[in-house]
Structure 1
């Protein structure tokens, strides 16, 4: 009974539960995953401001199985990092995994997807989906068609509302904008 290690106080866990879509157990599992990335840098017990001051460098986080093959990994990490360079504190990491969790509502996921992806990513997605079987001209035609259908106001770029409208027509969005812990 007496040798259980306490990583967070009860109040810290309550605060994290209030700010995420996670249970206490999930939060502790996320912390273990975070600590396992670079155990020599991350303490077993969080004290003071360590949850939002100690950062794991982006190159270590990119090596996680969940990101390793993702062509958008750097942008995802930059969006969730306080320093906008992809280096993550525990709180950044927790926020990111919360948004990508099954419990996060669609509107939160759409908001972050809008921050992560841009129109230039249509070309990257086409290349990945077609295994580079399309010519540059074919990709250009598809990109133009997607923009034509999505850009309701015709200003040449997607607003948040236009992006949201496109995403709501993609039934697979919720299942693909997901990271399991």
Structure 2
């Protein structure tokens, strides 16, 4: 995590990340309660002892956050790039939301669907991030984001991680072009319009 977002995260009531990420953040201090989840571990969001009263009081009964695998670029570089994860946000009677994290591989998404089933909404980190030392995307390309969305069976997709950083090799225009013509069963385009700096309500 870059320095400004790391500092911001430590002002929040709760930060959930990988165990290694939690170790790094904890030593830096801050007001946040930091929880590290291994792949497939779940955190009860309505449990004040686990997440703090500020989060638990807002969570629906039975709400949980499940850490799921993610692969940040080619497997050969996993140790160098460090561990990453995605999440499933679930609650009885509420939509299931998948958050990809810095995952670059559709095969990882397929394995998640095989284990947990399809989802209602997907938040996909795209942008095809690249660095000079590694000749491969470190996050989803626009084409792979489309493929992942279809595998997930999502009724709506939110595309993130496509602008404001120089290491993105594809911008929002590439993502919008790839999703052009894909309609949601809930009505309207599958890819939600999410203007920067504006609050967006996403219908499912």
- With the length of structure 1 as denominator, give the TM-score of the two structures: 0.28
Bigger strand fraction? 2
Higher relative contact order (CA 8 A, sep 6+): 1
Bigger helix fraction? 1
- With the length of structure 2 as denominator, give the TM-score of the two structures: 0.26
